[in-house]
Amino acid sequence: DAKTTQPPSMDCAEGRAANLPCNHSTISGNEYVYWYRQIHSQGPQYIIHGLKNNETNEMASLIITEDRKSSTLILPHATLRDTAVYYCIVRVLGDSSYKLIFGSGTRLLVRP
C-alpha cells in the first residue's frame, strides 16, 4: 500500500491561502489521492480527490505533480473554521471497494 508523508503541523493567517503538502512517492498508477479533514470532536469530512489532473471544488483545490509523487491541498481563503487535522490518503483498491489508510495528518491552525 502506498504511504503518505505530511508535516505534523502548519499554521496560516485567516484570509490567506493554506497550502498543505503531501508526499506519496510509492503511489501506483491506478491509485487516487484523497483528502479528508477532521475538526475537533467530529468525524472525518471528505474534501476532494484526484488521480492525475488538478481538481477544484467549492472547498479546495488539489494540485498533483506530473510524476504523481506529491500533491498539495489548497484552501484559498482560510477561515478559523478550517482549523482541523488534514489527512492525505492514497486509495487502496481491492474487492471492488476500498480501504482508507489514515496517517497522522497535518494539524492546521488558522490564526485570527
Question: Which phi and psi angles does 66 have, rounded to 5°?
Answer: -60, -35
Q: How far is the CB of 16 from another protein (least distance, A)?
A: 26
Q: How far is the CB of 33 from another protein (least distance, A)?
A: 13
Q: Which is nearer to another protein, 12 or 34 (CB)?
A: 34
Lookup: cell for 2: 502506498
Chain residues binding another protein by CB under 8 A are: 34, 36, 41-46, 49, 87, 95-105
Q: Which is nearer to another protein, 42 or 67 (CB)?
A: 42
Q: Which residues contact 12 (CB under 8 A, 6 or more apart)?
A: 18, 78, 108, 109, 110, 111
Q: Tell me the Cα Rg of the chain.
A: 13
Q: Which is nearer to another protein, 43 or 112 (CB)?
A: 43
Q: How far is the CB of 96 from another protein (least distance, A)?
A: 5
Q: Which is nearer to another protein, 96 or 112 (CB)?
A: 96
15 CA to centre of own chain: 19
C-beta of residue 35 within 8 angstroms of C-beta of residue 47: yes
